[in-house]
A and B are shown apart, each in its own frame.
Chain A
């Protein structure tokens, strides 16, 4: 299985400051169609996962533009330009190129 390794696992951030989460894949994530199926999810306490980013850098409808995704195999990054209180939660990267789809361990974002 493809191993997705996130860092850091815990990220204390000051409100209004930027935050960055890294994700490294153990295999190339380029599918046979040329696309890279790398996604980012946010899970707030007590809620289901919510997708923020798909296809490395495509932001979902309704996701604030302070969230951005970038990267190419094997290193990918989720950036929050200015952290707000509602951004507290656990963030996961996920690859959808190779079955089984696999997730990173999660990065817990909290406010300092």
Chain B
């Protein structure tokens, strides 16, 4: 069974940094592109970043480019999102999601909440 488990969320001060992790189970992790999608509680969904299966290709939304870095460790079946320069606009639940087939996300994690406040 495919399972995605996010962790690393929490309270961080404005301007601070945080690293999110997403542990993957039940599939050949390196064969799939992976995504981070965020959602302000009670609001809509926003694609944040994506990475190809081998990690060679990365993609970012304009709102996070230059502040966030997506990466993966295929030996550990884990996806990461290093977030920096955090502001109130980054407060959201962050989901990791698998891409399959191309152009779609079939499995999502339960999400991890990032709160930015002093």
Contacts and interface: CB of A to CB of B under 8 A. Distances in A.
Interface of A: 1, 31, 35, 37, 39, 41, 48-51, 54-55, 60, 92, 94, 96-97, 99-106
Contact of A92 (B35, B45, B101): B45
A106 B111 CA distance: 18
A55 B105 contact: no
A39 to B, nearest CB: 5
The SS class assigned to the A binding surface is loop
B59 A48 contact: no
A55 B44 contact: no
Interface residues of B, number: 22
Interface of B: 35, 37, 44-47, 50, 59-62, 95, 101-106, 108-111
28 contacts: A1-B62, A39-B103, A39-B104, A48-B95, A48-B110, A49-B37, A49-B45, A49-B95, A51-B105, A51-B106, A54-B101, A54-B103, A55-B103, A55-B104, A60-B106, A92-B45, A94-B45, A94-B105, A96-B103, A96-B105, A101-B35, A101-B47, A101-B50, A102-B47, A103-B47, A105-B44, A106-B44, A106-B45
